[in-house]
């Protein structure tokens, strides 16, 4: 799996730029990589429910400050937005998180975000922030490097490569999404054999 520096160098290589040895070194390439890396990563993570960045949270009921929110009278419950979440895809009572996605609302007071829902003791399926880059899927990493290169092209005076890296990104992100969509989706559940010779499904 690629480290932060390796991902940056993948992007820089697409632009014909000098590579770096550390994200905090004193070079123009490093300064720009550090500036854009997290921003581009979080934006890309928000676009799709990547399996490697998915987590389910039991939502915590918001404190009394949430009662100043106008929407508080429209919903049965106001929950705090999970600190590590980048995006909430579904809110549910339990069981299958691929339920109706229209049973909640995200609101903000300017400095805090809240989750409004009529579901009691709710859970949320989220895309979360990633700081351990080893967990990134290899196909996602390829797409991320191209997307980072797109962001770096202008500040590094390498816009002549922009059209090419944009096309490469579009192909790479499509492959990454397709691969992710089939992960953990078996064609048929495995069968196990009972002692008497009868098959029963494994759940």
> 33 and 26 in contact (C-beta within 8 Å)?
no
Q: How far apart are CA 39 and CA 21, in angstroms?
A: 21
The dihedral over CA atoms of 65, 69, 73, 76, expressed in degrees to the nearest 10, equals -60
Question: What are the DSSP E strand ranges found in 157-198?
Answer: 191-193
Q: Which two tokens stand for residue 66?
A: 């949430």
pLDDT, residue 98, reads 62
User: Could you tell me which of 84, 26, 77 has the C-alpha nearest to residue 57?
Assistant: 84
> 161 and 153 in contact (C-beta within 8 Å)?
yes
pLDDT, residue 26, reads 92
pLDDT, residue 94, reads 74
pLDDT digits (tens, 9 = 90+) for 46-85: 999 999 999 999 999 988 665 677 777 889 999 999 999 9
């Amino acid at each position: 799996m690629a480290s932060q520096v390796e991902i940056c160098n993948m992007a820089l290589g697409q632009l014909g730029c000098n590579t770096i040895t550390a994200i905090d070194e004193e070079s123009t390439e490093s300064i720009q990589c550090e500036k854009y890396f997290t921003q581009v990563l979080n934006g890309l993570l928000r676009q799709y429910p990547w399996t490697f960045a998915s987590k389910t949270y039991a939502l915590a009921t918001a404190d009394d400050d949430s009662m100043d929110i106008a929407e508080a009278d429209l919903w049965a419950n106001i929950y705090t937005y999970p600190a590590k979440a980048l995006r909430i895809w579904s809110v549910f009572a339990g069981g299958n998180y691929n339920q109706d996605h229209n049973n909640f609302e995200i609101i903000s007071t300017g400095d805090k975000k809240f989750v409004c829902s009529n579901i009691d003791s709710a859970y949320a399926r989220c895309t979360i922030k990633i700081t351990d880059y080893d967990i990134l899927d290899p196909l996602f990493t390829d797409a991320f490097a191209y997307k980072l290169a797109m962001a770096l092209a202008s500040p590094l005076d390498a816009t002549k490569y922009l059209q090419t890296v944009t096309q490469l990104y579009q192909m790479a992100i499509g492959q990454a999404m397709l691969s992710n969509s089939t992960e953990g989706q078996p064609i048929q559940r495995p069968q196990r054999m009972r002692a008497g010779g009868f098959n029963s499904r494994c759940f």
